[in-house]
Structure 1
Amino acid sequence: MTRHIRHAAAFCALLLVALLVNATRVQVVDSQAYDDNPANRRTAIARYDQPRGDILVDGEPVTGAKDTGEQLRYERTYRSGPLYAPVTGFASQVYGTTFLEHAEDDVLSGTDPMLAPLPLWNDITRARNPGGEVVTTIRAAVQRAAYAGLGGKKGAVAALDPATGKVLALVSTPSYDPERLAGTGSAVTGAWAGLNADPDKPMLNRALSQTYPPGSTFKVVTAAAALDAGEVTDLDADTRSPAPYTLPGTTTRLANEVEGCANASLRYAFQWSCNTVFAKLGVDTGQDAMAGTAKKFGFDTPGLRIPSPVATSTFDTAMDDAQLALSAIGQYDTRATPLQMAMVSAAVAGGGSVKAPYLVDRTTTDDGDTVASTGTRTLRQAMNPGTAVQLRELMTDVVEKGTGRNAAIEGVTVGGKTGTAQHGIGNAGTPYAWFIAWAQEPGDAEPSVAVAVVVEDASADRSDISGGGSAAPIAKAVMEAALR
C-alpha cells in the first residue's frame, strides 16, 4: 500500500513539475508570441487604456486625447490638424501610426523603457508608464506662414536653421485632419477610403515623401561642382557657352528663356538662370565630379530620418553627356525632396557644411524630465568654404537684381535661386515652380533660416508659373516669420 502511495505522490509531483514547466513556457518563452498575436485584444486594450503623450510646438501641445468610455478608451485628438499633419502624422486605432506618431510611438504610448523610474521596472511589474512628450523644433509662426503662403495650391515647404539642422517648418498641401482617422467607427473607415481615393493625395507628405525634378534650383549644385573642380575660377569671366546649345551627340538644341546667355559669365548665368551655360558647365565638369558633389549635398544617400523617414533624392550616375547636360539643370532623372533642396540652401548658408536635419528637439516624461535630446550633427562638407562664399554672393545677386526679386526683404540679406521644372511626357505637364533661399539679419555672422518651396499648382496657366513668381513670395513670408 505504501509503495502505491509513493508512486502516486511521485506521479503528482511529476505533473506539478510539468505544469510549472508549461506555465514558464507560456509566460516567459512564448509570451512575446502571444502578445503579438492579432487575436490578442489585451495589448490593444492596454495601449488605449491611457492617453498618449503629446507632441509639442513652441511648448504647447498640438495633440490631445478624448476619453470615449469604450473598450479602446482614449482616442487621439489634434489641434490645427491640417496645419501640423505633415509633422505629427496620425495615430489611428484602425490604421496604425505615421510620421512622428510612428517614429516616437514608444515614448508617446508609454512603452519606452527609458520612461520607467528604475531600470527593468516595467519588465518586473508589467506596468505601463504614462505617455511621454515629444518636443519638436517646429516654430508655430513659421509653420503658419508656410501653410498660409501655399493656400489652396499643391506644394510643400521645408525650412531649416542652417547652423543646427533644426526643422523650423514642414508643410504639405493639400492637407487633411488626422483626427478623422482616430477611433473605430464607420466614420473612420469612410474617411480613410475618401482620403485614399482623393486625386489630390492629401495624406502624401510632399515635403518628405515626394521627389520632384528640382529644375534650375539644382544649378546651385552644378555651380558648386564646377567651382570646386576649378572649371570656373572667375565668376565674371566668359564661359564660352553657345546659345542655343546643342546637346552632345544629338541634334537637340537647348535654348534659354532670357537674352544675353551666349558666352555669359557664371554670375550672369546664375542671376538669370541660363540653361545653356549650366548644361555645358555640367558636361565640362564631368560625370564623376557632378555626381560626387551631388552626393555630398545628400543625393543618392538613402536612410535619412528626422526621425520620420525621408525619400531618397537622386542624381543619375550612369549617363551620356546629353543626359548629364540635362541633369545639370535639374532635369532628366534628377529628383529631390523639398527637404533636400532646403539642405542645399542651408549648406550654402552654413559655409558648405551639411547639418543633419532633425524635427525632435527632445523627448520627456509626462512630468517634463528629459529622456533623450537631439544635438547638432554634421553629415558632410558639400563644398569648399570659399565656394560657399561665392555661391552666397551669386544667390544674393539673384534676389537683389535677378529672377528672385520677389523674395527680397528690406534691411535683410537674402540669397535665392529660382527654378521651373518641366515634367510629364514630352514635358507636357504644368511646370513645378521652385524657390530655395536663405536670409541673414544685419549684424548676424551667418544666415539663420534656409527654405525650399515647391508649388505644383496644376490649375495655373503654364505661362504664369515660375519660381520667382509663384514660389519666391511664399519663401519670403516664411523667412520673415523665422526672422521675427
Structure 2
Amino acid sequence: MTRHIRHAAVFCALLLLALLVNAARVQVVESSAYDDNPANRRDSIARYGRPRGDILVGGAPVTGSRDTREQLRYERTYRDGPLYAPVTGFASQEYGTTFLEHAEDDVLSGVDPLLAPFPLWSDMTRGRPAGGDVVTTLNRRAQEAAYAGLRGRKGAVAAVEPATGRILALVSSPSYDPALLSGNDAAAERAWARLNGDPDRPMLNRAVRQTYPPGSTFKVVTAAAALDSGMITDLDEPTDSPAPYTLPGTTTRLTNEGGGCEDAPLRVAFEWSCNTVFAKLGVDVGLARMSRTARAFGFNDEGVRIPFSVATSTFDTSLDRAQLALSSIGQYNTRATPLQMAMVAAAVAGGGQVREPYLVERKTRRGGATVATAGSRPLRQVMYPSTALRLRELMEDVVREGTGTNAAIPGATVGGKTGTAQHGIGNAGTPYAWFVSWARGDRDMEPGVAVAVVVEDGAADRGEITGGGMAAPIARRVMEAVLRS
C-alpha cells in the first residue's frame, strides 16, 4: 500500500512540475505572442478601464472621458473638438491615436514610469497610476482668432513666440470633431468612412503636415541670403535688375504683377514684391549660399518634432540657374509648412536667432504635480543680427505702406510679407494666399508673436486672391489676440 502511495505522490509531483513548466512557458517564453494576439483584450480593457488624462490649454482641459458602463468603459470626449483637433488629434478605441494623443499616450494613459510615485511597488502590484495631464503652450485667444478668421475655408495658421519657440496657435481648416471617432460602434465606423472619403480632407493637419509653395513670403529668405553675403549693402541702392527678367539659359521671361520693379532697390522690391529682382538676386547669390541660408531657417530638416512629427519643408539643392531663380521667389520645388514660415518670421523678429518650436509646456500627475517640463530649446543662429535688423525694417515698410497694410495694429509695431503662390501644371491651379508677420506691442522690448497664414480658397476669383487681402487680416487677428492677452 505504501508503495502505491509513493507512486501516486511521485506522479502528482511530476504533474505539478509539468504545470509549473507550462506556466513558465506561457508567461515567459510565449508571453509576447499572447500579448500581441488580437484576441487578447486584457490590455484594451485595462487601458479603457479608467479615465484618460487630459490635454490642457490655458490651464483648462479641452479633453475629457465619458463612462459608457461597457467593457471598454471610458471613451474620449473633446471640448471645442474642431478648434483643437490639429493639436489633440483623436484617441479612438477602434482607430488608435494621433498627434498629441499619440505622442503623449504614455502619460495620458498612465503607463509612463514618471507618473508612478513608487515605481517598484507599481511593478510588483502591476498597478497603473491615473493618467497624467499634458499642458500645452497654446494661447486660447490666438487659437480662437485663427479658427474664426479662416471661417471654414481651406487653409492653416501657425503662431509662435519668437524668444522661446512656444507654439501659440495651430489651426487647420476645414476641421472635424475627434469625438466622432472615440467609440467602437457603428457610428464611429460611419464617421471614419465619411471623414476619409471627404475630398476636403478635414483630418489633414495643414499647419504641420501639408507643404505649400511659399511664394513671395520666401523672399524673406532670399533677402537674408543677399544681405548676409554682402551682395546688398544699401537697401536703397538700385539692384541692376531688368524687368522682365529672362531666366538664365532659357527664353522664358519672368514678369511682375505691377510696375516700378526695373532696377528697383531692395526696399522697393520687398515692399511691392518684385519677382524679377528677387529671382536675379537668388541667381547672383548662388545655389550654395541660398541652400545654406534655407537650411539655417529650417528647410530640409527631416527631424522636426513638436512632439509629433512635422512634414519636411524643402529647398532643392540640385538646381540649374533658371530653377534657382524660380526657387528664390518661392516657386518651382520650394515647399514649406505654415509652421516653417512662422519660424522664418520668428527668426527675423528674434534678431537672427530662432529656437526650435514646441507644443508641450509640461506634463503632470493627475493631482497637478509636474513630472517633466519642456526645458530650454536649442538656439539656432540663422543670420547676422544686422541682417535681421534690416529685414525688420523691410517688413515694417510692407505693413506701413506696401502690400500688407491690412495687418497693421494700432499701438503696435508690425512687420510682414505677403505672398501669392502659383501651383499646378502650368500654374493653372488657384493661387494660395500667404502672409507671414510678427508684432511687438509698444510697451514690449521684443516682438511677442510671429505668424504664418495660408489660405487655399478654390472658390475665390483668381484675380482677387492676394496675401494682403485674404491672409493678412487673419494674421492681424491672431497677433492682436496674443498682444492683448
Q: 1:283 maps to which residue?
A: 283
Taking structure 1 as reference, are residues 25 and 354 closer, same or farther at Cα in structure 2, changes over 3 Å only? farther
Amino acid at match of 2:151: G
Cα offsets for 1:436-463 (capped at 9, x unmatched):
0000111322100000000001100000
Q: 2:258 maps to which residue?
A: 258
Cα offsets for 1:142-176 (capped at 9, x unmatched):
10000000002110000000011111000000011
Using the TM superposition, give the Cα deviation of residue 17 of structure 1 relative to its aligned residue in structure 2, in angstroms. 3.5
Cα offsets for 1:107-131 (capped at 9, x unmatched):
1111111111212333221111111
Q: 1:430 maps to which residue?
A: 430
Using the TM superposition, give the Cα deviation of residue 298 of structure 1 relative to its aligned residue in structure 2, in angstroms. 0.7
1:99 aligned onto 2:99? yes
Q: 1:192 maps to which residue?
A: 192
Cα offsets for 1:375-413 (capped at 9, x unmatched):
231242111111111111111111111111100011211
1:42 aligned onto 2:45? no
Contact in 2 for aligned 1:227/1:233 (Cα 8 Å): yes
3-state SS of 1:357 partner: coil
Cα offsets for 1:234-264 (capped at 9, x unmatched):
1111111100000000000000012111111
Cα offsets for 1:86-117 (capped at 9, x unmatched):
11101111111110111111111111111112
Using the TM superposition, give the Cα deviation of residue 416 of structure 1 relative to its aligned residue in structure 2, in angstroms. 0.4
Runs of 4+ aligned structure 1 residues displaced above 3 Å come to 1-18
Q: 2 CA distance for matches of 1:164 and 1:63?
A: 26
Q: 2:243 maps to which residue?
A: 243
Q: 1 CA distance for matches of 2:265 and 2:258?
A: 14
Using the TM superposition, give the Cα deviation of residue 36 of structure 1 relative to its aligned residue in structure 2, in angstroms. 2.5
Q: 2:361 maps to which residue?
A: 361
Q: 1:296 maps to which residue?
A: 296
Q: 1:464 maps to which residue?
A: 464
Q: 2 CA distance for matches of 1:29 and 1:445?
A: 63
Give TM-score, length-normalised by structure 1: 0.97
Worse-superposed segment, 17-26 or 218-227: 17-26
Contact in 2 for aligned 1:215/1:329 (Cα 8 Å): yes
Q: 2:81 maps to which residue?
A: 81
Q: 2 CA distance for matches of 1:13 and 1:348?
A: 79
Amino acid at match of 1:440: R
Q: 2 CA distance for matches of 1:125 and 1:457?
A: 56
Using the TM superposition, give the Cα deviation of residue 5 of structure 1 relative to its aligned residue in structure 2, in angstroms. 6.8
Q: 2:313 maps to which residue?
A: 313
1:225 aligned onto 2:230? no
1:109 aligned onto 2:104? no
Q: 2:67 maps to which residue?
A: 67
Contact in 1 for aligned 2:163/2:354 (Cα 8 Å): no
Q: 2 CA distance for matches of 1:30 and 1:348?
A: 57
1:322 aligned onto 2:322? yes
After TM superposition, list the pairs within 5 Å mapping 1:360-379 onto structure 2. Answer: 360-379=360-379
Contact in 2 for aligned 1:356/1:376 (Cα 8 Å): no
1:130 aligned onto 2:164? no
3-state SS of 1:292 partner: helix
Q: 1:169 maps to which residue?
A: 169
Q: 2 CA distance for matches of 1:395 and 1:377?
A: 26
Using the TM superposition, give the Cα deviation of residue 10 of structure 1 relative to its aligned residue in structure 2, in angstroms. 5.3
Could you tell me the percent identity over the aligned residues?
A: 74
Q: 1 CA distance for matches of 2:218 and 2:11?
A: 80
Q: 1 CA distance for matches of 2:120 and 2:376?
A: 30
Amino acid at match of 1:404: G
Amino acid at match of 1:463: G
3-state SS of 2:445 partner: coil
Using the TM superposition, give the Cα deviation of residue 139 of structure 1 relative to its aligned residue in structure 2, in angstroms. 1.1
Using the TM superposition, give the Cα deviation of residue 33 of structure 1 relative to its aligned residue in structure 2, in angstroms. 3.1
Give TM-score, length-normalised by structure 2: 0.97
Contact in 2 for aligned 1:113/1:120 (Cα 8 Å): no
Cα offsets for 1:282-330 (capped at 9, x unmatched):
0000001101111111110102110111000000010100000000000
Q: 2 CA distance for matches of 1:361 and 1:103?
A: 14
Cα offsets for 1:62-100 (capped at 9, x unmatched):
111111111111111111111111111011111111101
